[in-house]
Chains A and B, each alone.
Chain A
Amino acid sequence: MMIQIIKKQCLMIWRNPAQLFLLIGLPIVFILILGTALNQFFEGETMRIQTKIAIIEHNSELEQADKFIQEMGKEAGLKKEQVASLKENLPIQRLKSLFYSKELSDTIDIKEVSEDEKDEILHDNTYSAIIEVPEDFTYTYLAHMIKHKKKIPQLRVIGNEQQQISVEFIQGIIENFQRQLTLSVFMSENKLDEQAMNIPASLFANNRTTMDQHEPISAKSYYTVGMAVMNALFVASTIGIIGFREKETFVFNRIILANVSRWIYFSGVLLSTVIFAFLQLLIIFSFSWLVFKVTWPNLFAFFLITIAFSMAVGGIAVLLTAISYRMHTERITNFFSSAIVAIMALIGGSFFPIGDSSEVVRKISELTPNGAGMVAYLSTLRGNDITDVSMSVIYLCLFGVIMIILAAFTFPKRGETM
């Protein structure tokens, strides 16, 4: 019985070429336009992080080291080689060479500036962050490590609020660096390694994962995902309208009078939406694969996300249908397709990476089903592992289920006024 309803839904959509074009042709046109027009913007700024930072040292690290060796060297019984090795592995020096390294210098442009310039840089929007090395940082550090005196000093990162992603990126590096310092102290305290200061390899290793998450995404890939998830929402309103027309023209009554349970009808609406959304997404993504070469490193993850997202769309469709049945008007569905979809698309990031602007916006963005879908798709496109999208997939399924439950409660039961 449900098959008949799904078949009929297919026929209805098929008989409506204008609708079909809106659902499949239009997103493709949008991808073509946006993907081409905004390519520059993407390659240039947003996706590939080009970060400029400043580092301020309050006094020379080398002088601090000399001072420490003069004051405490004898007392600590440091040998000549040890003094040399210590001087070669001074912490700030290591940090700087990390930023100048082949791996990071492409992305990060570091300027060593004096204290007097701090104010000026704070107001210069081209800087993403300032790393401030407190006075006598190295002296304190050495004292802690060798003489077990004083606390481990902390580096300060002052971030530019408007460049959230870059700031997080820098903070990640600094936190890692700080952790390495603590670890080396711990190791030297426990005499695990005479050369405790020399553990830079893992520092790089860790930073690479941070960088991987921000593999550049082309504008075409971005808008393929953005437009696909946005237009899938229109499947929900299209089905919602078909459903309401069935009630209005008394066709729904005919179905009920044929002794078909309203829950079979309900499930038919749900399932047909899931199928349509799935096919629509598949067609759009196939198109961008063939034309724009947007390829999916992990097809399994791709299908998983697509199914979960289609379920969320199905949930929206039955909720719209149920509300319009109960309220005896299709206004809610029209409002959804004319206003709510646009708002959701904007918040979800279909038009530009809105989540980059701030953490709060990013969280809200991921609460919309299309936003959650986008995050998952983009993450997969960047080559991330399937585990990285599992939260989004679970969220989408959950969203779908909640919509379905709400719809079931709203849908008029037998005997209620038609």
Chain B
Amino acid sequence: MLELVNISKRFKQKYAVKSMNMLIERGEIVGLLGPNGAGKSTAISIMSSLVEPTEGDVYFKGQSILKKPESLRKVAGIVPQEIALYTDLTAEENLQFFGRIYHLKGAKLKERMDDVLETIGLTDRRKEVVKKFSGGMKRRLNIGVALLHEPELLIMDEPTVGIDAQSRNYILETVRRLNEEKNVTILYTSHYMEEVEYLCDRIYIMDQGNLIAAGTKEEIKRILSGEKTIVIKADRITESFINEFKTHPLINGMNVEEKQVSIMVAKEVNMFADIIKLADKASLELNSVNVKTPTLEDVFLHLTGRALRD
């Protein structure tokens, strides 16, 4: 349905996206994963016909959108990363304006507005100005606006950034329902691994403008088939303890959190003795040491040596 061929985008000297290839088939939910500044939003601006790439081309149903963006624009709904709404207007007035510029009018417009408000759960707040909405409500309306013209393809740029767990679950459910009930094809961008893991059939992982992995969830996890993750928990983690690991020759990746360190090593390596010795040396009291099966988070760690979120 949508295909990116060898897309690059350069700002001055710096590449925001470098030779990116991507394919989205009808009916899929595809995840685009990457940390801050990976180039996700840039890629989305290009594939939604907002920005022209420095190199490469984008095809929608086999037709280049660089020359003819109309066919894509008519059937694509874009959910921008920022809240792109008129905050001085009410939810209803926003929907009305954007509905009209999509050539909806009269009874059809009203029907679509009611439907969208229902979908995003804002029916009883429709007459309130957006300014007074909570973060989660604004996010929901931001998505709602993109649904007015019943898009075949929905491109969502981090639709759950900065909101509470309840709103987030609501949005995830909505996305899933749209895909299942209305067969909407979805590109879902996020830097939350668990969202992508929950929603998506296929996943692309980006870092610093490059695609570093692509495939189904299983394929991607298989990248780690030769590795395992060890999670070490302690009351406190000291600098010296971390430094010992950083220089350890057998460790392929590491992620430090407040009271826990995850390290990645080859499957056959036995690290327990080393861990206990190093903890002793740094005079740390260990609470637990566990081996766990790899997650997508670990894949990212493996591929980049860094955590997805800092």
Contacts and interface: CB of A to CB of B under 8 A. Distances in A.
Interface of A: 1, 4, 7-8, 11-12, 15-16, 249-251, 253-260, 414-415, 417-418
Contact of A250 (B84, B88, B93, B101): B84
A8 B86 contact: yes
14 contacts: A7-B97, A15-B88, A15-B89, A249-B87, A253-B78, A254-B80, A254-B98, A257-B73, A257-B76, A257-B78, A415-B52, A417-B51, A418-B45, A418-B50
A101 to B, nearest CB: 65
Nearest to A16: B88
B88 A12 contact: yes
The 3 closest A-B pairs by CB, nearest first: A415-B52, A250-B84, A259-B73
B180 interface: no
Given A1-B101, A259-B70, A253 B88 contact: no
Contact of B50 (A11, A16, A256): A256
Contact of A258 (B45, B85, B102): B102
B145 interface: yes
B86 A417 contact: no
A255 B48 CA distance: 13
B67 to A, nearest CB: 11
Residue of A251, A255, A256, A414 most packed against chain B (CB within 10 A): A251
B22 interface: no
Contacts of A414: 52
Contacts of A7: 97
A197 B76 CA distance: 90
A260 B101 CA distance: 7
A335 B97 CA distance: 31
B11 interface: yes
A257 B73 CA distance: 6
Contacts of B199: none
Contacts of A250: 80, 82, 84
B100 interface: yes
B101 A249 contact: no
A254 B145 contact: yes
B309 interface: no
Interface in B41-62: 45, 48-52
Contacts of B286: none
A160 B115 CA distance: 78
Contacts of B52: 414-415
Contacts of B93: 11
A28 to B, nearest CB: 24
B129 interface: yes
Contact of A249 (B69, B85, B97, B145): B85
A81 B171 CA distance: 112
B172 interface: no
Contacts of B73: 257-259
Given A259-B69, A259-B74, 14 more contacts: A15-B88, A249-B87, A250-B84, A251-B84, A253-B80, A254-B145, A256-B50, A257-B50, A258-B98, A260-B101, A415-B52, A417-B51, A418-B45, A418-B51
Nearest to A5: B101
B83 interface: yes
B263 to A, nearest CB: 41
Given A1-B101, A255-B101, A249 B51 contact: no
Nearest to B149: A258
A249 B88 contact: no
A16 B87 CA distance: 11
Interface string B180-201: 0000000000000000000000
A289 to B, nearest CB: 32
Contacts of B80: 250, 253-254
A358 B102 CA distance: 57
Contacts of B145: 254
B264 to A, nearest CB: 38
Contacts of A254: 78, 80, 84, 98, 145
A315 B129 CA distance: 31
Most chain-B CB neighbours within 10 Å: which of A11, A250, A414?
Answer: A250
Greatest chain A CB density within 10 A among B45, B76, B88 is at: B88
Nearest to B73: A259
B49 A12 contact: no
A4 B88 CA distance: 16
Nearest to B146: A254
A256 B51 CA distance: 11
A418 B81 CA distance: 14
A414 B145 CA distance: 23
B117 to A, nearest CB: 18
A35 B78 CA distance: 54
Interface string B1-39: 000000000010000000000000000000000000000
B101 A415 contact: no
Interface in B62-110: 69-70, 73-74, 76, 78, 80, 82-89, 93, 97-98, 100-102
